[in-house]
Every structure is written in C-alpha cells, then in structure tokens.
Structure 1
C-alpha cells in the first residue's frame, strides 16, 4: 500500500487564534500564520528574505485542541491542503485568496520546548487504541524432493 501524504505548512502563529462555530455547529479555528523565507548564499550563509503571511483554518477536533494549546508566536507544523476562495464583500468588491485548511496541527518539535502529558485521555472520551506492529512471519520454503 502506498503512503498517503498531504500538503504541509510550517511557520509561526502571527495572530491570536480565534475559535468560532460554523453554521452547522462545528468548531472552527482561524489564525494568521507567518512563513519565514531564506536564501542560501554561495559562501554557505543564509540571508533572510521577506516573511509571508497566510490564513490557516482548522475544523472540529483540530480546532478545539488548537484553541486550547496554541498561542500567538508558537512555532507550528500543520498537515492539510490549500483551498482557494472567492466571495463578494458588503461593498460589492470581489475578494479572492487562499487559505491552508489544517486537518492536523501542532507545535514544531524542532523549534519548541515543552513537556508531554502521557496520562490517560479517557476524560475526553477519545481514547486511542495502542498500535501493535504486525508480527513478522517467516515464509516456509517448499519441501524439496530428492531422487
């Protein structure tokens, strides 16, 4: 089976995360995120280029957990996809843009120090099952017949 992959974003949270609800009552988390860009020079040094800013949105459990654990300034990684949008604002102006829809989001381990709480998550009602690696099976060789 092929490894399933998605797009990823790494950067920092540039605005205070805002938790709201969609029309059908699902949690929605919005934040502005920044992406620092660098250029490697011929001598091996790096020059920082202009930082770009983007919209990031998460829904449901990712939104709820993100609202509890993330804050402006945090270094993050997110998995998801880019969605383009178009709408007309109240003044009749056509607005176009893109946003990163994060299916999973968390702190960037390479750029964040924190402690992990490995106590049971039973209180959340979302107990995850432990992963057991499949047992390796030895392949039996067919019996050889001697004549």
Structure 2
C-alpha cells in the first residue's frame, strides 16, 4: 500500500481572499500565494530578487473555514496539488496553473502565534465542570497574534 502524499506550498497570501459560490452552491475560496525569491551572497546575506505568485483555490467547507480564518499578508502553508485549468476569455483560450488546496494552515515557523482552542465536547453528559481553554504557543521572531480555533 502506497502512502497518500500531497504537495506543500509555503508562502504568504498576497491578495485579499475571495469567497464565491459555484452554480451548485459549493463554496470556492480564491486567493494567491506569493513566494519571495532570494539569492545568497558570498558574505552570507540575502538579496531579494522578487516574488513568484500562484493562484490558490479551496472548495467546500474548507473554503468557508479558510475565508473565515485567513487575511491578506498571512504566512501560510497550502497542502494539495497543482492543476491546470483551461477556459476561454474574450475569445482567447487561456491555460492557468493553480494550486488546489485541501488544507490551508498558518505557517507557524514565520511568526509567533498563540492558538486558543475550545474544549472538545464529551460523548456523554457529566456533572464535571468544563475544562479551561488550552493555550499552545509557537515562537518565532515576530510579534504575537492570537488565533481562536473552535474546531
């Protein structure tokens, strides 16, 4: 049995994400991932050469969750695969390479995050008091940002 594998695409959301509905009602998240390109110099410093951009899409419930959680500028890791989409625009055939993600995650190696989670519901009712919200901290060089996750 072969393990299931996906491609990881790290970067930052370089445009404000949009949430659209397809004709069948399915949610569609549309964004763009930017990746800064650097050259290492002989002295060890890095020179910024520019950035490359890839269209990012998510479908369904994952699209709605991503739209609620992410904004332009967030450092992210998209998990999925590259697809080529063909369509016609103003009489011209266009082939567009895009990344179709199944998951969109915060890149916790880029910024300091504090993740707060609600306690998970119990299978059976008890008289025990609810547990306090747990906190997990990820540290990097930049300022803190709190994320409330209630999944």
TM-score, length of structure 2 as denominator length: 0.73
What residue in structure 2 maps to residue 44 of structure 1? Answer: 44
Q: 1:115: how far off?
A: 2.1
Q: 1:14: how far off?
A: 1.1
Mark the CA change 1:53 to 1:81 in structure 2 (over 3 Å): closer, same or farther.
same
Q: 1:51: how far off?
A: 0.5
C-alpha RMSD of the superposition? 1.7
Give the unaligned 5+ runs of structure 2: 122-151
Mark the CA change 1:118 to 1:83 in structure 2 (over 3 Å): closer, same or farther.
same
What residue in structure 1 maps to residue 92 of structure 2? Answer: 93
Question: What secondary structure does 1:63 align onto?
Answer: helix
Say which structure is richer in strand.
Answer: 2
Q: How does 1:1-147 map to 2 (within 5 A)?
A: 2-89=2-89, 91-120=90-119
Give the unaligned 5+ runs of structure 1: 123-147
State the Cα deviation string for residues 88-137 of structure 1 (Å, max 9, x = none).
Answer: 11x20111110000101021101133321221355xxxxxxxxxxxxxxx
TM-score, length of structure 1 as denominator length: 0.75
Question: What secondary structure does 1:36 align onto?
Answer: strand
Tell me which stretches of 4 or more aligned residues in structure 1 moved more than 3 Å: none
